[in-house]
């Protein structure tokens, strides 16, 4: 069956809606991506043109169709141990640095683009490795957020193929997963420490307390510079003094417009 064609005018309307709603920039090179990812939805809804779909999105007050659009447009490519040097730095430097200043044993960590869960679960495992027997005396769970409900459902399940889990260091795979058939499930002690929530990064945050460490990796590549600048400022405002921000290695924060102190590539810190 031939795909429903997307005119330039229709693409501009949908791109503007995606930008206004999610901060994601869709340039002309993404036109085929939009066609490929949305054609199934159009056919399911009985639409013959993208303009009909766009008008339907704008009129829908429930927010369900916009969420479906977010599920389809957002890219949830991730894997265990991605950019592994970040996890080494987290365990050996960031955690020791921030915990020595915490008096109430309340460590607050936010994984701001958690996708299907590999990153926050790894952080939770490393926290348990770091604290060891002292872990139960700390409030050290973490918040994991994403805009895609589809990704969050998979993350909550905590079930991954053998090949994916195999990318982790042996000790983490051996200590924090249970084999279920030909797959591996994150064990309950780790799952219970990660709270998954839906959150749109371009909307105002409503956190009660600031975070000691924020991971926001490989999501700002989809934002234009003004959106990035605004997000970085808002993350800075909800970072504890001495706290860390980790971004993706393919991302940069302009030195002249960065409230954080540069530590190393893709790692920043809020000055004490």
Fold of 84-269: Rossmann fold (3.40.50)
Name the residue ranges covered by the structural domains of the chain: 8-73, 84-269
pLDDT at 94: 98
Q: Residue 82: is its pLDDT beyond 90? A: no
Is 37 part of the annotated catalytic residue set? yes
What are the tens digits of pLDDT across the range 215-268?
Answer: 999 999 989 999 999 999 999 999 999 999 999 999 989 888 899 999 999 999
Q: β-strands 142-146, 194-198: how paired?
A: parallel
pLDDT at 141: 87
Is 189 part of the annotated catalytic residue set? no
Q: Residue 270: is its pLDDT beyond 90? A: yes
Confidence of residue 108 (pLDDT cuts 50, 70, 90): very high
pLDDT at 101: 92
pTM of the entire structure?
Answer: 0.89
Answer yes or no: CATH 1.10.8.100 is held by domain 8-73.
no
Which of 82, 146, 217, 269 does the annotation list as catalytic?
A: 146
Alpha-carbon torsion (181, 186, 188, 194), positive or negative: negative
pLDDT at 16: 95
Which of 37, 60, 229, 234 does the annotation list as catalytic?
A: 37
Going across the sheet that includes 194-198, the strands are: 194-198, 142-146, 109-111, 211-216, 239-247, 267-269, 261-264
Confidence of residue 135 (pLDDT cuts 50, 70, 90): very high
pLDDT at 117: 95
């Amino acid at each position: 069956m031939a795909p429903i064609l997307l005119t330039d005018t229709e693409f501009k309307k949908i791109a503007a809606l995606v930008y206004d709603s999610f901060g994601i920039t869709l340039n002309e090179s993404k036109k085929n991506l939009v066609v490929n990812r949305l054609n199934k939805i159009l056919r399911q809804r009985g639409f013959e043109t993208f303009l009909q779909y766009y008008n339907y999105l704008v009129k829908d007050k429930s927010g369900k169709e916009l969420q479906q659009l977010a599920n389809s447009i957002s890219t949830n490519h991730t894997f265990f141990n991605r950019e592994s040097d970040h996890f080494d730095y987290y365990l050996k430097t960031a955690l020791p640095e921030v915990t020595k200043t915490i008096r109430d044993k309340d460590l607050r960590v936010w994984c701001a683009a958690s996708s299907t869960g590999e990153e926050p679960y790894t952080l939770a495992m490393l926290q348990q490795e770091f604290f060891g027997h002292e872990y139960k005396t700390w409030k050290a769970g973490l918040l994991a957020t994403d805009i895609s409900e589809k990704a969050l459902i998979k993350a909550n399940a905590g079930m991954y193929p053998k090949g994916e889990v195999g990318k982790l260091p042996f000790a983490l795979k051996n200590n924090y997963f249970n084999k279920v058939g030909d797959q591996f499930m994150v064990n309950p002690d780790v799952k219970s420490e990660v709270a998954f929530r839906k959150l749109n990064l371009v909307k105002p945050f409503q956190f009660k307390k600031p975070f000691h460490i924020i991971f926001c990796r490989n999501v700002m590549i989809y934002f234009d510079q003004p959106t990035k600048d605004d997000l970085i400022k808002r993350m800075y405002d909800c970072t504890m003094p001495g706290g860390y921000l980790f971004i993706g290695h393919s991302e940069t924060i302009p030195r002249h417009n960065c409230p954080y102190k540069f530590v190393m590539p893709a790692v920043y810190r809020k000055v004490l």
